[in-house]
Chain A
């Protein structure tokens, strides 16, 4: 992996958010990442859309260690596992702005993992600052402001492709989040706070802009750094993702990989 490419060296596809199932959102990440490796998919910025509330577990998290199953069931929050490491994400249909970048690994060639996290989210930090939010990147994978954590990222690499997804909390119900996720004292041990709900600071606390306008403003710095075009998913990409969603991401075998 000696070749190094820049944002501008790629033609990027923009996929605006469309409501999808949790399993389908997970499967699309894999299909679009593998499509980079095979050359079938262009580098893509995909905004996630949701048809329901869910918790997305990190690849290495155990269900019972992280989820209060009773509270999740009572609140009709479903459960899915993603392929990337990192922590559980609580998603509500309009609770967060979440996106995936899929690109050739050459875009982050020569960088440490830590550097690549900050690099791939630099545009969104700039977009937040342009909106007046005092956002900054906190290694390894957090976007924070003076009032708390706004978002977090996770990354996978496979076959010369990089998948980087980031969640920016927008109108998240942090009280419900704290009921559904088990966030213990050890997790907060170096944070200087004692409440998980206080740890997260959704964007809504800092801006009154409508959600669509926030997305538009966040995307603006990306569109100035490279060629970005609205282009829908191809039918075969959708078909592959639907098959993968059914075979893997909707299965208990994968979701409860670590019970």
Chain B
């Protein structure tokens, strides 16, 4: 699956993954955004792996925020933007 979302005036987030047993698997978040510190991307990908595909956008975003903590800076995008890109990948499937 592949979903994209561009934060207006900001950056483009792309999320690639597969769905296994009703869960997101092999999640890779990519794009032209800025994330400080850069290593936080590993925690974001890991946090999304295994989430149920029925999870809401707000819940996915909260999950990302909880995984990276408060000291991580999302520049040009947000946990919500990642969540939206992810769920867009599911559009047209069911």
**Which residues of A come within 8 Å of B, CB atoms?**
58-62, 65, 83-88, 113-114, 139-141, 154-157, 184, 186-187, 189-190, 258
Contact = CB atoms under 8 A, between A and B. Distances in A.
26 contacts: A60-B31, A60-B32, A60-B33, A60-B38, A62-B14, A62-B30, A65-B14, A65-B16, A65-B30, A83-B38, A85-B33, A85-B34, A85-B38, A86-B33, A86-B34, A87-B11, A88-B32, A113-B73, A114-B75, A140-B34, A140-B75, A157-B36, A184-B4, A187-B12, A190-B6, A190-B9
Interface residues of B, number: 25
B41 to A, nearest CB: 6
A83 B35 CA distance: 11
Nearest to A155: B34
A140 B76 contact: yes
Contacts of B31: 60-61
A174 B36 CA distance: 31
Interface string B47-72: 00000000000000000000000000
A141 B76 CA distance: 10
Contacts of A141: 34, 76
Nearest to A87: B32
Nearest to B85: A186
4 nearest CB pairs, A to B: A87-B32, A85-B34, A62-B30, A186-B4
Interface of B: 4-6, 8-12, 14, 16, 28-38, 41, 73, 75-76
A88 B30 CA distance: 12
B12 A186 contact: yes
B16 A62 contact: yes
B75 A113 contact: yes
B35 A190 contact: no
A100 B68 CA distance: 29
Contacts of B6: 186-187, 189-190
A248 to B, nearest CB: 14
Contact of A86 (B9, B32, B37): B32
Contacts of A140: 10-11, 34, 75-76
B12 to A, nearest CB: 5
Contacts of B30: 60-62, 65, 258
Nearest to B44: A60
B34 A154 contact: yes
B28 A258 contact: yes
